[in-house]
Amino acid sequence: MKRLLLLLLPVVAVAVFSAGCDRIKERPVLRIGYMNCNNERETMERFAPLSRYLSEQVGVTFETIPVDTHEFEERFRAGEFALTHTNSLLYILLKEDAGLKLVAADKRGHYGSRTAGTLIARKGSGIETLEDIRGKRLVFGPMMAPTGYLAQYDLMLQAGIDPERDLGYYAIPAGSFKHEKLIYGVYFGDFDVAAAPALDLEEMTREGKIAADDFVILAQSQIVPYCTFGAAPDLDPVIFAKVRQALLELTPTDTVEIDGERVKVLKAAWVDGFEELLDSDYDPIREMARRVNMPPYQTY
């Protein structure tokens, strides 16, 4: 009898293991589209641990897909992503055009899930007020950046300055790290004024890259939501609820294994945590987009 059991034991073990493998294979696979801030490699390094964490918590295999801003709408409409991680302007665009649902917002820096757009000049440059920027060289962030372009464009319009006519010229830097580039652009005198997100100023100051006294903040926008997790309208409500719960419960000490190494999920993602916002919290961005004539409210 004992021998029989000994013989059966490996068979049973193999059967159980195989069944387990089948179940793993059977787990649904969903894709999360993460908006590239700088480049694909950075996006993967930042968000692969977060996707792994969500997979562990939700019981679904989430794939990390880096997506360029200009491709996002088309690929989301094609049903490629179950979840999205974008800036707040893109969230509004996808919500209005394709029914994206709000899951949670990233918390980072002084303002938590929000930040502001600022217009800055180098201290001592003689530019002290918003009025002084007429005829000057200005550098914006990317066009779809809510606090690197939209907010500052709106600030200027509100102050009676038309960026298309009243500035000497304006530019948008190419390539990666656009926000840092424009801050350095003003610091080193290549431009007179920059449209800098308050969050980038904050982080560069904290890291010692710049000092608070280096710049004059000419104007600052209203504080608005920033990076946002959204869900496709047809996502299973149970998965939706589990994803939201997992994000809200994520703490700085939570880790996952990536390539044999334990990685802190929030630290890797450059995020302090997640917060549950209301869609109405995004209304100030909607109003800005309407005033600036930007998508999804653009009229010709």
Partner 1 sequence: MPKFSQTSLLWLLMVVATAAMAALLVTASGDDPRWRTAGLDKAVERELAFQARAAFLQKVYAPVEALLAAGQAQTALLKLDELERSFSGDPHGFILRGEILRDLGVLDRAIANYVRALKLSGDYLEEASPLSRRTEIRHLVDQGLRELVPRARSNPDNRSLAATVGELHYLQSRLAGGCE
Nearest-5° Cα angle at 118, 70 to 168: 80
Distance CA 117, CA 180 (A): 14
Pick one of 143, 172, 217, 258: the residue that binds partner 1 (CB under 8 A).
217
Q: Is 212 in the site for partner 1 (CB under 8 A)?
A: yes
Give the CB-side neighbour count of residue 3, counting CA atoms within 13 A. Answer: 0
Q: Is 275 in the site for partner 1 (CB under 8 A)?
A: yes
Q: Is 180 in the site for partner 1 (CB under 8 A)?
A: no
Residues 53-112 that bind partner 1 (CB under 8 A): 110-112
Interacting span for partner 1 (CB under 8 A) from 161-169, 186-194, 215-223, 231-239: 215-223
Q: How far is the CB of 216 from partner 1 (least distance, A)?
A: 8
Q: How far is the CB of 203 from partner 1 (least distance, A)?
A: 8
- Residue closer to partner 1 by CB (options 66, 284) is 284
Total residues binding partner 1 (CB under 8 A)? 25
Pick one of 27, 70, 77, 206: the residue that binds partner 1 (CB under 8 A).
206
Q: Is 270 in the site for partner 1 (CB under 8 A)?
A: no
Q: Is 276 in the site for partner 1 (CB under 8 A)?
A: yes
Distance CA 98, CA 102 (A): 12
Closest CA to 139 of 182, 177, 174, 168: 182
Interacting span for partner 1 (CB under 8 A) from 61-69, 90-98, 125-133, 272-280: 272-280
Interacting span for partner 1 (CB under 8 A) from 92-100, 126-134, 136-144, 275-283: 275-283
Q: Tell me, what amino acid is at 57?
A: Q
Q: Is 248 in the site for partner 1 (CB under 8 A)?
A: yes
Interacting span for partner 1 (CB under 8 A) from 37-45, 135-143, 199-207, 292-300: 199-207
- Residue closer to partner 1 by CB (options 138, 204) is 204
Interacting span for partner 1 (CB under 8 A) from 71-79, 87-95, 213-221, 282-290: 213-221
Return residues touching partner 1 (CB under 8 A).
110-112, 114, 116, 118, 198, 201-202, 205-206, 208, 211-213, 215-217, 220, 223, 248, 275-278
